[in-house]
Amino acid sequence: MAIDAIGLAGGAENSVPRNASIAQEDFLRILLTQLRFQDPLKPVDNQQFVAQLAQFSALEINRQQSEKIDTLLQLNATGQAIGLIGHQVEVRGASGAGVGEVIAVSFATGEGLLSVRTPSATLLDVRLGDVQLVQEGT
């Protein structure tokens, strides 16, 4: 089974837009509004508030961990791309297929883009995930 680990790290997008998440300040504002407008004859149980705070804290921790993992994946992909400089690679991608030496790496788009020089002196610009085979440099 083929795994494209390095290609996904640079180009993976979160399916949830960043502005769709609720921030801690928003949650506390909602909680205070709920307290302000609760029925005095039927107050919300303290355990429910503690449970809501605990749930939000857990969600915030998960969000922070997810961001840190995304950063680590990006750093790992960057290291892998830089490590390919001077190596012979076999690539298959949108710009064509071929074998050649990686002569440069660009991160202008946020994703590793390799410049591969083929034996016929043609330059291929390929994504890191398009690398099929890596051989030691010549």
Give residue 137's pLDDT.
Answer: 53
Give residue 95's pLDDT.
Answer: 63
Nearest CA-CA partner of 10 in 95, 62, 68, 70:
70
Give residue 8's pLDDT.
Answer: 45
Tokens of 33: 């509004």
Tokens of 124: 């291929």
Helix axis angle for 24-36 and 46-83, nearest 10°, is: 170
Domain that holds residue 133: 1-138
pLDDT along the chain (138 residues), means of 10: 44 50 76 82 79 84 92 88 90 78 86 86 85 76
Cα–Cα distance for residue pair 39/35, rounded to 1 Å = 9
Q: What are phi and psi of 58, to 5 degrees?
A: -65, -40
Tokens of 58: 């857990």
What CATH number is associated with residue 50? 2.30.30.100
With a threshold of 0.95, does the pTM exceed it? Answer: no
Give residue 45's pLDDT.
Answer: 77
Q: How many structural domains does the chain have?
A: 1
